[in-house]
Amino acid sequence: MTDIDLANVLRDAMLVMLKLGGPPLMVALVVGLVISLFQAITQIHEVTIAFVPKVLAIGLTLLLMGPFMLATLSGYTRLLFDQIIAIGGS
């Protein structure tokens, strides 16, 4: 395995990480921003008001994005195993 192959594997790993982690993090960011704005306007500072909607939104996002995430991770895993087989497993 050359340095270029290793760099490609690392680049693909970073892209997979962004594809898998990006949507839930963006949803949590948007929901947190909306809840923070609501708390600032109403001056209600309760921890559960911020926590429960974030958990529900992230859970819904994972439920909706689950098939895409599974397909992405499976494809990357197959790519890694194919590369391991190509170099002879050693």
**What length does the chain have?**
90
Distance CA 29, CA 25 (A): 6
Over the chain, what is the mean pLDDT? 90
Supply the Cα-derived Rg of the chain in whole angstroms. Answer: 19
Residue-wise pLDDT for 44-71, tens only, equals 888 888 899 999 999 999 999 999 999 9
Residues 17-45: tens digit of each pLDDT: 999 999 999 999 999 999 999 988 988 88
User: pTM for the complete prediction?
Assistant: 0.78
Taking residues 4-10, what's their average pLDDT? Answer: 88
How far apart (Å, rounded) are the C-alpha atoms in residues 25 and 23?
A: 5
